[in-house]
Amino acid sequence: MSSEKSTVHQIEKIGAISGILSIIFYFCAAVLPFIPEAIGRLLGFTFPLLWIIAFMGLYRFLRKESHTPSLEIAYIFGIIGAAIACSFIVVQQANFMWHDAAMEAANSEETKSLLKASFKGANRVQAGLDVAFDIFITISWLLFGLNIAKNSRFNKILGWTGSLIALGLLVLNLVTFPSAPAESGLFDLGPFLGLWTLVVFIWFFVVLYKKKNID
């Protein structure tokens, strides 16, 4: 195996592992209340960075069989989406921490009411960034799903399922904007897209493992 091919294969393997870890970190930070706050924040800051590495690996694997314009767009939008995710999580957590510290120092109900109103307004910034993240990441996975469906090492149903979930989540976010679908009383497809993504990266890892044994 040439040096260039070996490097690409290493990026693919690191990408597959990063993808699995990113989704595990995402669910741990989002749904496990018993995790200490500092660890939860660390997981929240880390999983978008792992996504970028995961997109690098998946993109390089898929383009070897079919290098399409939609794959290029999926890759770029995925990286942008991950960067926005890290930005809004940092802003969100900073707002929470500053608000909690200010509330502890407040010495009157009037001051607390003012702080709550200020926090509500400031918190809308991260909510808007969350929607921007959803737009980029759903378009990315919609297009990645189409390319996964065409790849001989994956599965058509797997790819199309992801594209449909991503499209549904995108539509719901645009329909309920600026509120999130769950806050508007509609179904939230976000966790389902997360589970599908986990399946994709596990499948990706298995494909790479089998390829190594064959080689």
Mean pLDDT (the chain, rounded):
86
Q: 25-29, 66-70, 175-179: which range is least confident on average?
A: 175-179
* Contact (Cβ atoms closer than 8 angstroms) between residue 74 and residue 147: yes
**Model confidence at 91: pLDDT above 70:** yes
More reliable by pLDDT, 144 or 95? 144
pLDDT for 212: 59
Half-sphere exposure of 174 (CA within 13 A, CB side): 10
* Contact (Cβ atoms closer than 8 angstroms) between residue 119 and residue 113: no
**Model confidence at 198: pLDDT above 60:** yes
Query: Among all chains, which residue has been given the structure tokens 């699995």?
Result: 20
Q: How long a stretch of residues is the chain? A: 215
pLDDT for 145: 96
pLDDT for 214: 45
Q: Which of 35-39, 96-100, 125-129, 185-189 has the highest mean pLDDT?
A: 35-39
Enumerate the H helices of 32-155 as residue ranges: 37-65, 69-105, 109-150
Half-sphere exposure of 190 (CA within 13 A, CB side): 18
pLDDT for 147: 96
**Model confidence at 166: pLDDT above 50:** yes
Q: Which of 38-52, 101-115, 147-161, 181-195 has the highest mean pLDDT?
A: 147-161
More reliable by pLDDT, 154 or 29? 154
Tokens at residue 212, please?
Answer: 């190594």
**How large is the average pLDDT for residues 188-199?**
91
pLDDT for 41: 84
pLDDT for 180: 73
